[in-house]
Structure 1
């Protein structure tokens, strides 16, 4: 398995785990969308921070 495929699988797993945990709680759809947006903001902020620090 090449490095890019392994990274893609890791990122897919990192996205699926929080979303599946939210789905398992059977929350209303608007709350689910709000929480998913919060997770995306957290991961997006971490990505931007790492990108800025690695320059």
Structure 2
């Protein structure tokens, strides 16, 4: 239930601002790309330093 509330609040704020759907999708994809890029940078750094699960943890192997 907590996760549903966490999604409803920002979505309702976006609906209240009446932003075009295309802009919202573009912004969401940009944020997703930023977080994925940072995630892979951290994983690459962990593999280079020999700590963490690396890509094995990401892939579930």
In the superposition, the TM-score normalised over structure 2's length comes to 0.52
Structure 1 unmatched ranges of 5 or more: 1-8
- Any unmatched runs of 5+ in structure 2? 48-61
> Pairwise CA RMSD of aligned residues?
2.9
Q: Using CA pairs below 8 Å that are at least 6 residues apart, which structure has the higher relative contact order?
A: 1
Max radius of gyration: which structure?
2
Query: May I ask how many residue pairs the two structures share in their alignment?
Result: 41
Runs of 4+ in structure 1 displaced over 6 angstroms? Answer: none
